[in-house]
Chains A and B, each alone.
Chain A
Amino acid sequence: MTDYAIQVTGLRKSYQGRAAVDGVDFEVRRGEVFSLLGPNGAGKTTTVEILEGYRRRDAGDVWVLGDDPAAVTAAWKARIGIVLQRVDDLSQSSELTVREWVGATAAYFPDPRPVDETIDLVGLGGKRDARASSLSGGQRRRLDVALGIVGRPELLFLDEPTTGFDPEARRQFWGLLEDLTEQGTTILLTTHYLDEAERLADRVAVISAGRIVEVGTPQTLGGRAQAAARVRWVGPDGPREVTTDTPTKVVTELATRFDGEVPELVVERPSLEDVYLKMIGAGS
């Protein structure tokens, strides 16, 4: 029997008669990093906030760590960690230091991670005594994550954790998430960054207009692995391109023809972005 952290069937939620989530099914295995990928307004946050116990659903079955999040208890909340999409309390009103924030949050949980260890884990060791309001955007997001993981959650919800990060901050952040999965934390990650889903997720669900378009590994999504490849090179008459199911054969022929290096040779499969754009185009 597969051990699931999350099971969702037939999930629906409407706001003023408009369906935000329109029949969503998926499950997340324990220890897995599962990504909900979709454009803004696709229903990602509504779905996640139902799973977190913040919102009530209109219909469907939802099990999170074996419990119904609509009947939340402190015992259940002690087993999950939540990093919300947008919270401004750290920037607008927090005169507390990083250590005070993490320490206070740890005090709500029965078996918290040591405060300093948590701070080091998110890479804020040098900012322990800095006030939260003085941190940069990326550092503040790391503090958000510290507050999400200090309770040693079995399941961590991350809602668009790296929006607004510069590329280097994003890479560091990915490293942190990889550390957490190594420790066995199940992660549900919503994002609209394809490279992020591709790098981190074991499986990706593409959601569009409140429905799941497809669930698969980043490598196979949208038939990527089987899709025709494009081979491009520069011949004597200028750039050339062929689309083929047998790229190896094409390249071998080219190598023979050019007797060695083929100028500006590129072989490419559809990128995750290509298949994603096709999917959300189809879904809307």
Chain B
Amino acid sequence: MTTDNTTRKFPAGTVVRPDYRPPPLRSVYAVRAKVELLSFVREREAVVFTFAFPILLLVIFGSVFGGQDLEGGVSFAQYFVSGMIAAGLFGSSFQNLGISIPIERDTGALKRLAGTPMPRSAYFAGKVAVVGVVAVVQNLLLLSIGVLFYDLELPTSASRWVTYGWVSVLGLTACTLLGIAATAIVKNGRTAPAIISPISIVLQFISGVFFVFSELPAWMQEIAALFPLKWMTQGMRSVFLPDEYQTVEPAGSWEHGRIALVLTAWCVLGLAVAVRTFRWRNKADG
């Protein structure tokens, strides 16, 4: 292929390229955020299910097992609410993007965008906006229901709120990047739910959402420890459960340093894979 200017066989044309002054990045990001948020809130069924599903799970599990007491003076409902908050973060980022991006690739939405001068980062900025809004609303709903019906105690110390903040932000970042990276292995929008949903459900089972983590077989704990969700649930337990419960955790402590380390590692890995493998066109499209 001859792409070198010295091999040019034809005159380049008489039109001198006008000075290109792209629109400010900030305003393009704002437009993409608006597009994504409007598209989300106007899909009413999707909005209802996105927010109702974790609440429904919370009510079902809370009603069935809620009364059981765990070690360390904690009720199962309290344990489960902290797990569901972590799972909600995971669902609104990893699961949401892992399914919605391949569908947009199938419809040609991504191809259309790639044909415009829009900076490609703006597309991801829009996704981050919608992930952020969904995560915040979902967290507020789960916290309210947990406090009102399942004896969840909101943290009273500033340091616990700080933990809540960094675990949420770091976990969301890791899972957002992983959701984008996962679209590399998803061939099309039809198979996306079949691949992404089982990953999320299995991880929820082994990471301390539906079952008490310390009661799982050791090998299962070891597998779960490779993935981010286990560390997010542990981080959330450190926010909402009393400090005495630490002794029940397999490590005997909340392991904040390790949580930060593992989630950061997943951020780096997700980013590296996403940057290298992201496709704007369906494979079937050549």
Q: Which residues on A are within 8 Å of B, measured CB to CB?
A: 1, 3-5, 7, 9, 15, 27, 30, 46, 49, 52-61, 63, 65-68, 70-71, 73-75, 77-78, 82, 84, 86-89, 92-96, 100, 103-105, 107-110, 131, 147, 151, 154
Contacts and interface: CB of A to CB of B under 8 A. Distances in A.
Contacts of A68: 3
Interface string B1-23: 11100011111111101001111
Contact of B3 (A46, A70, A154): A70
Nearest to A112: B23
B117 A93 contact: no
A84 B42 contact: no
B274 interface: no
Given A58-B1, A71-B3, 13 more contacts: A1-B11, A1-B14, A15-B286, A66-B17, A74-B20, A75-B20, A78-B117, A84-B108, A93-B103, A100-B35, A104-B31, A108-B117, A109-B116
B109 A84 contact: no
B2 A61 contact: yes
Contacts of A107: 23, 27-28, 31
Nearest to B14: A3
B107 interface: yes
B112 interface: yes
A63 B35 contact: no
Given A82-B115, A84-B115, A92 B42 contact: no
B169 interface: no
26 contacts: A5-B13, A15-B286, A46-B286, A52-B115, A54-B114, A54-B115, A58-B1, A63-B8, A65-B13, A71-B3, A74-B118, A75-B117, A78-B117, A82-B112, A82-B116, A87-B112, A89-B107, A89-B109, A93-B103, A95-B39, A95-B43, A96-B42, A100-B38, A105-B116, A109-B116, A110-B22
A233 B162 CA distance: 94
B45 to A, nearest CB: 11
A95 B122 CA distance: 20
Q: Is the contact region of chain B dominated by helix, strand, or loop, or is it mixed?
A: loop
A174 to B, nearest CB: 23
B190 interface: no
B15 A3 contact: yes
A94 B11 contact: no
A110 B281 contact: no
Nearest to A80: B115
B107 A87 contact: yes
B119 interface: yes
What 9 A-B pairs are tightest by C-beta distance, nearest first?
A75-B20, A95-B42, A87-B108, A89-B109, A108-B118, A74-B117, A66-B12, A66-B13, A82-B115
Interface of B: 1-3, 7-15, 17, 20-23, 27-28, 31-32, 34-35, 38-39, 42-43, 103-104, 106-109, 111-112, 114-119, 122, 281, 286
Contacts of A57: 1
Contacts of B122: 108
Contacts of B34: 104
A55 B11 CA distance: 23
A154 B15 CA distance: 11
Contacts of A55: 286
Contacts of A66: 12-13, 15, 17
Nearest to A63: B10
A66 to B, nearest CB: 4
A131 B43 CA distance: 12
A89 B108 contact: yes
A5 B109 CA distance: 27
B132 to A, nearest CB: 19
Given A4-B10, A65-B15, A74 B119 contact: yes
Contacts of B39: 93-96
Contacts of A73: 20
Contacts of A4: 10-11, 13
A96 B15 CA distance: 37
Contacts of A53: 115
A84 B10 CA distance: 27
Given A87-B109, A88-B108, A96 B35 contact: yes
B13 A3 contact: yes
A59 B1 contact: yes
Given A93-B104, A93-B109, A104 B11 contact: no
Contact of A74 (B7, B17, B22, B111): B22
Task: Give the one of B13, B38, B42, B43 with max A CB within 10 A.
Answer: B13
Contacts of B107: 87-89, 92-93
Nearest to A93: B107
Contacts of A3: 13-15
B286 A56 contact: no
A56 B12 contact: no
A56 B9 CA distance: 19
A265 B166 CA distance: 87
A84 B112 contact: yes
A84 B114 CA distance: 12
A180 to B, nearest CB: 18
A31 to B, nearest CB: 12
